[in-house]
Structure 1
Amino acid sequence: MKTINDLFILEGMKEGIVLAGHRGLTRNVQFVNISDTPDVINFLSENNLLLTTGYAFKDDTEKFCELIKQMHELNCSGIVIKISRFFQQLPPEVKLLADNLAFPIIDLPTKHTLGEVSRHILNYLNDHEAEQLYYALHVQKEFSNMLIKGYSLSALVEQLGHLIARPTLLLNHRGEVLAQSHDFLKESMKDIKLEILQKVKEDLHVIREGSTFSIPSKEQVSLTSFPVYTKRQYPSMLVIYDSRSLPYPSSQMAIEQAGNVISFTIVKEQAIEENARLLKNNFFSDLIEMKIQSDEEIYNRSNYYGLQKDSENICIVCTIDTQGEMYETMQLYEKKIGELHNTVYDQLEDEIIHENLNATLFTKGKYFAIILQFPKYSDEEIDKISQFIENVQANFNGDFNLSFGVSHSVPSLKEIPTIYYEAVEAIVTGYEQNLKGFIKFYKTRDLEELLKSLPRKDLKALYENTLKSLAFPKTKEEQELVKTIQVYLDTQCEISETSRKLFVHRNTVKYRIAKAEEILNCSLRDPADSLRIRVALIIGAILNEDESILNQ
């Protein structure tokens, strides 16, 4: 059965003011009567609530007191009166009597009609679902007011736990505690809390979507999770302990209404985080573009973002493969691309925390840059990095692939620009090789790779100018001269070693070298000439390779 106290969640009643008889607010209410007649007592019975303007006793305080005594003897619920209609205030005699009898008298604002309030109360008394709905709306409004006033997540969760009289946890999408009701601070609940967190992490995907579960030490007690949706790809969670026996009129609807307000609070905090992230990314941009000149400023600002001075630094750059029809279609929708980038950022952040890496995550344009720090950098650390990246790729739930470039290590924070561009170059190299969803470790390009990146017309011109008539040998003698030059340079201009490798006499080698130097107008023992000839021979191999591919 409902009490007077329960009615204050209803429209009209929630604005009512208790004028007297506060101790009687626990009186039960079963029926409602509206009357302004002097003989109203003849139509009342136990648990009746009277709604009136007070017209029948506006000029007779004794009659008003007599009615209160009679209603008290009948065990009636109380009186709801529009006190300002015919009274300036509740007469002192009436107030004293009502307080002594613990008989509640409640002032109803004039803007609400007695019939309207009566209808709300009767619906509430007679309809179980309506009562739960009213309670849910009451919770929603109370929490909305707390949101407007800037209450913290901890305060919101504490209030929810108080309203439903159940221990309550708020967890983020990783299953980590964001806030908790005071119940979990009790010594008796600490082990239970640890079990709950363990269970959540074991079945994270299921629990964060909303489910009922139990823990080993309390198998008879049910726990229910409610998703709290935010801007992140995955929801946070409200976890309610002993959820199947919520005290009436609490309901899942009330919890969900509170969850909606809590989600707004989380989104507000995420907006603050995004602003901090913007400042962090601005620092990274200034760092790699070498806009920070002072070493002290580099160290101080790096330290603020978790980068230590005396460590080996490695940069991992991640990007979303932009190949494929789906990504190109999404480019039409800037918002969706933004959501995808936020999802990748969250995934990288989650894996960094899960792997317990000493790392700081930044973004620059389309790239996600992770600066990892190790006391030393060895094969063990390389394996750890590879495992981390593979986990990210395996756990990424999207229709796109993630590719990674990994730099060398450097011992100084001032060299972070170098390793960033190394990691980016590794990414670019992977795409040049038509790879996707790859992991590419940076390696210094050798001379051949550098030459291959130059325009072919420039290579051909350099090749012909350097080797002259030997650039395209036509006779057997010219072919032998080119081969001799190659071996001679490879053996560091050793006549004996060259003759041994070519299976010819020493004098033959000397003759050929002299002949070649005459054609090329140079000395193969001269370092500058030697370098030009070596480069020309490498170019010749590149041009021959191109020709072979064309002829296939």
Structure 2
Amino acid sequence: MKTLNNLFILDAMKDCTVIAGHRGLTRNVQFVNISDTPDVIQYLDNNHLLLTTGYAFKDDAQELCNLIRQMHNLNCTGIVIKINRFLKELPEEVKLLANELAFPIIDLPTNLTLGELSRHILNYLNDDKAEQLYYALHVQKEFSDMMIKEYSLNSLVEQLGHFLNRPAMLLNHRGEKIAQSHDFRKDSMQILELEMIHAIKNDLPLGRQGGTFTIPSSEGLSIATFPVQTKRQHNSMLVMVDASTLPYPSSQMAIEQAGNVISFTIIKEQAIEENTRLLKNNFFADLIERRIHSNEEILSRTHYYGLDDKLDTICIICTIDPEGDNYDALQLYEKRIAELHNSIYDQLEDEIVNNDMDAILFTKEKYFVMLLQFSNYNETEIERVTEFVESAQRNLQDGDITISFGISNLVQSPIDIPNAYYEAVDAIMNGYDLNKFGFINFYRTREIDELLTTLPRKDLKALYENTLKTLAYPNTKEEIDLVKTMETYLDCQCEISETSRRLYVHRNTVKYRIEKMEQLLNCSFRDPTDSLRIRVALLIGTILESEG
């Protein structure tokens, strides 16, 4: 980019005189505006050079001072003004302000029109743009050749730093370093590197879309980020130090062209990663389905993927809840489903990294599966896992889609991962059985009554009636007393004395009732099988009664 000082090589500028703000001649110039209106500030912007006769300010030096302040705040280049046309001389207060702000004011001789000067400057700037475009295409060709030759990302970033004579760095979408030019290997650059990464991580949205950051410890130094598109939801970032003063004919256009090639290289590497991910998914699917029969192979392969057989493991699965119009719409568009699943997978990876969890992530059918390992799975770790899952759920869900999580109990060996997986699935299904969505469930062993409620009502009723026969629906006082005695007798572990004490009846009465029930039901309460059937039947009776 050209500076105001560069314009003095033009014949049209040779007779011009800088009358104030000499220190600002290094300001960049990209555009030229001609105006004599008082509201000209509305049409000016960054790197704009104003050409004017000064007519609007011939009797108002203060208004000219206001214009200079406003242009300085917009980072405009300066003012070229025909002093002798209307002002005759530059007011002293204007000159003092321009010197203070390092804002150049240049006197244009009356024999040259503003239009002629504008044409000369624009032609010069346009030729500059053409040369920068040619150089950008040259950079793009060089980088394309390097990509075809399979240069690494670090080599590409190294070459970019060499071409532009600026330190360069490549960060992923989380602000983590992927590659850097050799400049950052110097001891003097270590602190700058940390400050650069810290500044970008503090405002990742700006970094991902491309922005400028200042470095507090280096006065006047700035860094610029350029978005690098990948297959992920968020962009990676190419970072250049002091990109606003690139040496001619370098330009941001050249950086963007190099960024495109770097983008293709990252996408190629991501395709390789997806193939690796597929192999991992296939292995864990075989493990969960118990298609691997060798314990040695299981331990070897899980160790390859980062599991330690000396640590305990829990399984966390999450899935998109199957409800709502948006979910139904997704079922019609396989491509949209694939994009959504890839996005969730990427975000789960980010959550694992951001929460510093020791986890392996893979997918099985509709489930995203995470295996987490611990040396001591205590209350503190359980709380940490809960916070991790809650954070992931908040960040994954949006207005149309809810995400649910199931968390298994601990298993002590990778060989038992299938048990942990099915516990986590069961925790998910328990939530759905209760018509819940967007939930987090820890697995627990189901009680007998919970298991019974999952059976069809007609089957429960049949078992209840066949077991208790005429006592299934007691009507007379004698039948009611018999059922009450049966429940108490079983609760007392078939101890007659304890049963009689609880019922406030004589023990012979209890013995009589027990003998009569055993005849009615054709069973023996002391037989474990008969006792279990009767206990289950009584429990079913409670369930049927509660359901009405």
Distance (Å, rounded) in 1 between the aligned partners of 2:389 and 2:126: 60
Q: Which amino acid aligns with 1:173?
A: H
- The aligned runs of 1:349-368 (5 Å cut-off) are 349-368=349-368
Say if 1:212 and 1:225, in contact at 8 Å, map to a contact too.
Answer: yes
Query: 2:119 aligned with 1:153, yes or no?
Result: no
The equivalent residue for 2:490 is 489
**Partner secondary structure for residue 244 of structure 2:** helix
Per the TM alignment, residue 397 of structure 1 is displaced from its structure 2 partner at its CA by 5.8
Q: Which amino acid aligns with 1:198?
A: H
Query: 2:140 aligned with 1:134, yes or no?
Result: no
Per the TM alignment, residue 135 of structure 1 is displaced from its structure 2 partner at its CA by 2.2
The equivalent residue for 1:227 is 227
Say if 2:397 and 2:403, in contact at 8 Å, map to a contact too.
Answer: no
Per the TM alignment, residue 361 of structure 1 is displaced from its structure 2 partner at its CA by 1.0
Say if 2:158 and 2:180, in contact at 8 Å, map to a contact too.
Answer: yes
| C-alpha spacing 1:143/1:482, structure 2 compared with 1 (3 Å) | same
Query: 2:314 aligned with 1:318, yes or no?
Result: no
Distance (Å, rounded) in 1 between the aligned partners of 2:296 and 2:538: 49
The equivalent residue for 1:52 is none
Per the TM alignment, residue 261 of structure 1 is displaced from its structure 2 partner at its CA by 1.1
Say if 2:158 and 2:181, in contact at 8 Å, map to a contact too.
Answer: yes
Q: Which amino acid aligns with 2:262?
A: I
Distance (Å, rounded) in 2 between the aligned partners of 1:424 and 1:395: 22
The equivalent residue for 1:440 is 441
The equivalent residue for 1:177 is 177
Say if 1:208 and 1:237, in contact at 8 Å, map to a contact too.
Answer: yes
Say if 2:200 and 2:213, in contact at 8 Å, map to a contact too.
Answer: no
Distance (Å, rounded) in 2 between the aligned partners of 1:500 and 1:226: 85
Distance (Å, rounded) in 1 between the aligned partners of 2:412 and 2:517: 48
Per the TM alignment, residue 125 of structure 1 is displaced from its structure 2 partner at its CA by 8.5
1:381-412 Cα offsets, whole Å, 9 max, x none, are: 21121111011112226442221111111111
1:441-470 Cα offsets, whole Å, 9 max, x none, are: 111112112211122221111111110001
Per the TM alignment, residue 155 of structure 1 is displaced from its structure 2 partner at its CA by 1.4
Per the TM alignment, residue 217 of structure 1 is displaced from its structure 2 partner at its CA by 0.9
Moved more, 248-257 or 362-371: 248-257
The equivalent residue for 2:258 is 258
Distance (Å, rounded) in 2 between the aligned partners of 1:215 and 1:393: 35
Q: Which amino acid aligns with 2:545?
A: N
Q: Which amino acid aligns with 1:436?
A: F
Distance (Å, rounded) in 2 between the aligned partners of 1:348 and 1:237: 20
Q: Which amino acid aligns with 1:315?
A: C
**Partner secondary structure for residue 361 of structure 2:** strand
1:319-362 Cα offsets, whole Å, 9 max, x none, are: 11121111211222211111111111111111222222222111
Distance (Å, rounded) in 2 between the aligned partners of 1:426 and 1:173: 33
- The aligned runs of 1:150-549 (5 Å cut-off) are 150-396=150-396, 398=398, 399-547=400-548
The equivalent residue for 2:23 is none
| C-alpha spacing 1:373/1:126, structure 2 compared with 1 (3 Å) | closer
Say if 1:496 and 1:506, in contact at 8 Å, map to a contact too.
Answer: yes
Moved more, 535-544 or 346-355: 346-355
Q: Which amino acid aligns with 1:443?
A: R
Per the TM alignment, residue 124 of structure 1 is displaced from its structure 2 partner at its CA by 8.8
Alignment length (residue pairs): 428
Identity across matched positions, percent: 64
Q: Which amino acid aligns with 1:259?
A: G
Per the TM alignment, residue 238 of structure 1 is displaced from its structure 2 partner at its CA by 0.7
| C-alpha spacing 1:202/1:501, structure 2 compared with 1 (3 Å) | farther
Distance (Å, rounded) in 2 between the aligned partners of 1:464 and 1:125: 97
**Partner secondary structure for residue 409 of structure 1:** coil
Structure with the greater alpha carbon radius of gyration: 1
Per the TM alignment, residue 233 of structure 1 is displaced from its structure 2 partner at its CA by 0.6
TM-score normalised by the chain length of structure 1: 0.74
Say if 2:238 and 2:259, in contact at 8 Å, map to a contact too.
Answer: yes
Q: Which amino acid aligns with 1:176?
A: E
Per the TM alignment, residue 170 of structure 1 is displaced from its structure 2 partner at its CA by 0.3
TM-score normalised by the chain length of structure 2: 0.75
**Partner secondary structure for residue 352 of structure 2:** helix
Say if 2:298 and 2:414, in contact at 8 Å, map to a contact too.
Answer: yes
**Partner secondary structure for residue 317 of structure 1:** strand
Distance (Å, rounded) in 2 between the aligned partners of 1:199 and 1:295: 49
Say if 1:124 and 1:130, in contact at 8 Å, map to a contact too.
Answer: no
Distance (Å, rounded) in 1 between the aligned partners of 2:179 and 2:256: 17
Say if 1:124 and 1:131, in contact at 8 Å, map to a contact too.
Answer: no
Say if 1:125 and 1:131, in contact at 8 Å, map to a contact too.
Answer: no
| C-alpha spacing 1:395/1:219, structure 2 compared with 1 (3 Å) | farther
Moved more, 197-206 or 528-537: 197-206
Per the TM alignment, residue 219 of structure 1 is displaced from its structure 2 partner at its CA by 4.3
